[in-house]
Structure 1
């Protein structure tokens, strides 16, 4: 019996999955009280705002890098966010940018290997999955922080 590989996700499916995780992360950011988002941590870990900024610094530059082979760090158009409102506005702007830029990735670039940001050598799909996994991992920290603050985190399945 001959077997053929199954393509289980299209590029559109990958983006929908990622944006689902981003919606949940946005809810997590929004669940934090303003005074805790930028300063509260547990066990010496970074505050959740710092983690969210890490996701922002990676998402669009990763899509641009996969699309073009040029790996440039995210540059802020204005100062780094210092309020929840500023952070969420930047998050929302980046969500729009991801929706616009992701479809520009040439199909072959998903399997081509690059050295992303000069440090991670993997396929385009591999670095995209790394970004998604990194966000999920650190969002878990946010859930721990919210529980430590006696705040119910958003249901993880509501993406």
Structure 2
């Protein structure tokens, strides 16, 4: 039996990729919301960063990433910039508001990415060269990785995390 690989087959449309990313973001937001205020900023295991720092990274990557894809400027507002240690979100409610702001930003900027741009190479943050699609997939992988750390933290705190499959 001979099979031929379908290399030109579209597996996901841009809208399907967005829906997938936003469904992961919704689950990640519920993990963030499950943290007690104090533990969000202080709890860690085995030298891993507190979840506030992980969530800050997810917020900053998504916000600056979307700006980069659309404008070529890989930046975000100072309070969302997880690389700027002088501009920290200091409460859980600020994190949740920032998360929602970035979710809206993604929805607003996504339609501004031309279809052909998804396959073009970009230098994310001026240094990580890859296609727009693969950069988005990296953001998604990074989010899932950090959300997994959040699950471990919540379980160690005696808190049942949201069902991982409920996106």
Do both share a fold (TM > 0.5)? yes
| Contact 2:70 2:112 survives alignment (8 Å) | yes
Aligned pair count? 159
Q: Pairwise mapping of residues 17-32 of structure 1 onto structure 2 (< 5 A)?
A: 17-32=20-35
| Contact 1:58 1:74 survives alignment (8 Å) | no
Q: Which runs of 5+ in 1 are unaligned?
A: none
Pair 1:67 & 2:70 matched? yes
1:125 Cα shift? Answer: 0.5
Q: Distance in 2 between matches of 1:81 and 1:139?
A: 18
- Match of 2:78, SS? coil
Q: Distance in 1 between matches of 2:110 and 2:117?
A: 12
1:33 corresponds to which residue? 36
Instruction: Give TM-score scaled by structure 1 length.
Output: 0.93
| Contact 1:63 1:101 survives alignment (8 Å) | yes
2:83 corresponds to which residue? none
Q: Which runs of 5+ in 2 are unaligned?
A: 81-86
1:123 corresponds to which residue? 131
- Match of 2:24, SS? helix
- Match of 1:76, SS? helix
1:74 Cα shift? Answer: 4.6
Pair 1:43 & 2:46 matched? yes
Pair 1:90 & 2:98 matched? yes
| Contact 1:110 1:124 survives alignment (8 Å) | yes
Q: Distance in 2 between matches of 1:23 and 1:103?
A: 20
Give the structure, 1 or 2, with the largest relative contact order (CA under 8 Å, sep 6 or more): 1
| Contact 1:41 1:48 survives alignment (8 Å) | yes
2:161 to 146, 150, 153: 153
- Match of 1:115, SS? strand
Between 3-12 and 23-32, report the one with greater CA deviation: 3-12
Instruction: Give TM-score scaled by structure 2 length.
Output: 0.88
Q: Distance in 1 between matches of 2:12 and 2:38?
A: 40
